[in-house]
Structure 1
């Protein structure tokens, strides 16, 4: 398959690396020519979880509209960059399947307004961190869940054939439910790590952080029916332990002085809870703390 991955950040690079390793012809679409030049010169390097190194030769460009028609386009930019991408995506053939890899729920309805006949959404549980413009560190193995919201499944069935234990892919039925579940996990972990400036594992080993996480979980289970069955608290603990050494994306954004995805992840959860008559006071406080930190420009 010919696959274009839009977004040469950690998630985009890791995904491009594994797709290229499987034999697909992959093009990374980056925003800056400087990064494109480095990728074309040095190739794409993946530092594996076992300490080994994998180098893949992928094509790189800044010009999405100049690419020949692709068999699949993977959209791996953060939500804030989607707004400037929608117009370019709209101009592409309606036959090209799109796969969106954003956190949160804010992009769901927006993406479905695009003309493409096949649109799917993805929720990832792997850990990835950019080392430099052409090197990505694979920090933790996790399932890449894909839910097809409309259109055909054949192109995504091909992704199931990757059968790579380091990049497992799974098809699930309900895109909104999948994205909501991931947003709940993110709401329990990301804002706490960003405010407390701790790695994921410390939410379990630090007693006060653990109590805060438990409190947020109780608020969420009160606001949304069925969370205790679909996302038991034991799974939250397991995720924190599995990703103990990971720096959450929200904490990484704070450390780099970048705007986080607090609005698209936690903000949407807060809105949905309020519609159910629940204010989620602990999570709401963390939400405003993260926004205040971003407004002040404080990094650490």
Structure 2
């Protein structure tokens, strides 16, 4: 398969590395020519969980239109960069399948307005961290769940055969529900870690942080009656344990002074809850705290 990955952040680099290792021809589309030049000059390096190093030759470009027609386009940029990507996708052949890899729900309806015949969405739970323009560290194993919103699932069935113990891939039936469940998990971890400036594991060892997380879970379970069945609190605990040493994406954004995805993750969940008649006061307070921190320009 000829796969194009748009976005060379932690998620994009890790996916590109594993796909190239599975004998895919992978091209990374990046924003800066300097990064494209470095990736083309050097190999993409992945530091594995055991400390070993895996290197893959990855082509890189800043111009999506310059590429021959790929078998699959994977979009691994943050939500705020999607409007520019949408414009580029409308000029590409409609037969090219597209896979969106973003947190939150805000992009779901937007993406389905694109002309592409096959559109899928993904929820990733692996841990990854970029160390430089051409090096990514694999920090935790977690499945890549893919939900096909419309079109042909053939290309995604091929991806299933590429999965491994370190890079598991699975298909799910309901793409929107998958994204909602991931957004709920993000709501329970990301804003708390960003405001309190703590690692994921501290949500279990810090009694007050754990109490806040449980309070948010109870609020969500009241607003969305299926949550206790689909996401028991034990699942939240297990995720915090599994990613104990990780810095959440929202905290990483605060550390680096970047705008976070709090609107597309927490804001959309708050809006859905309000439609059900629930305001989620604890989560809403955290939401406004994150926004206030961003507005003030405060860093870690």
TM-score after normalising by structure 1: 0.99
Find the counterpart in structure 2 of residue 250 from structure 1. Answer: 250
Between the aligned partners of 2:236 and 2:197, the Cα distance in structure 1 is 19
Whole-Å separation in 1 of the counterparts to 2:163 and 2:18 = 11
- Structure 1 position 163, deviation (Å): 3.0
In structure 2, the residue matched to 1:176 is 176
Moved over 4 A (4+): none
Post-superposition offset of 1:138: 0.6
Counterpart of 1:275 in structure 2 is: 275
Q: CA deviation at 1:258?
A: 0.2
Which residue number in structure 2 is paired with residue 86 of structure 1? Answer: 86
Q: Distance in 2 between matches of 1:274 and 1:131?
A: 40
Aligned to 1:17: 17
Corresponding residue for 2:52?
52
What RMSD, in angstroms, separates the aligned Cα atoms of the two structures?
0.5
**In the alignment, is residue 237 of structure 1 matched against residue 210 of structure 2?**
no
CA deviations on 1:12-71 (whole Å, 9 max, x unpaired) are 000000000000000000000010011111110001111111000010000001110000
2:151: which partner in 1? Answer: 151
Match of 1:63 in 2: 63
SS at match of 2:152: coil
Question: What CA distance in whole angstroms lies between the structure 2 residues aligned with 1:152 and 1:286?
Answer: 40
Task: Using the TM superposition, give the Cα deviation of residue 84 of structure 1 relative to its aligned residue in structure 2, in angstroms.
Answer: 1.0
Which residue of structure 1 lines up, in the alignment, with residue 289 of structure 2? 289
Gaps of 5+ in 2: none
Aligned to 2:227: 227
Q: Distance in 2 between matches of 1:261 and 1:163?
A: 28
- How far apart are the structure 1 equivalents of 2:199 and 2:215? 19
Deviation at 1:164, TM superposition (A): 1.4
Kindly report which structure 2 residues correspond to 1:79-228, keeping only aligned pairs within 5 A, or say none.
79-228=79-228
Q: CA deviation at 1:188?
A: 0.2
In the alignment, the residues of structure 2 paired with residue 81 and residue 192 of structure 1 have an alpha-carbon distance, to the nearest angstrom, of 24
Residue 271 (structure 1) shift:
0.2
Q: Measure the CA separation in 2 of the matches of 1:93 and 1:6.
A: 16
Partners of 2:208 and 2:145 lie apart in 1 by 32
Deviations 1:61-97 (A, max 9, x none): 0000111000000000000000111010011000000
Offset at 1:227?
0.3
Query: How many Å apart are 1:285 and its aligned residue?
Result: 0.3
Aligned residues: 300
Report how far residue 100 of structure 1 moved.
Answer: 0.2
SS in 1 for 2:162: coil
Q: Does 1:8 align with 2:8?
A: yes
Take 2:53 and 2:40, find their aligned partners in 1: how far apart are those partners?
18
SS at 2:70 equivalent: coil
Distance 2:163 2:103 in 1: 24
CA distance in structure 1 between the aligned counterparts of 2:163 and 2:41, rounded to whole angstroms: 29
Instruction: Provide TM-score, normalisation by structure 2.
Output: 0.99
The 3-state SS of whatever aligns with 1:99 is strand
Distance in structure 2 (CA, Å) of the matches to 1:185 and 1:168: 19
Q: Deviations over 1:173-208 (max 9, x none)?
A: 000100000000000000000000000000011000
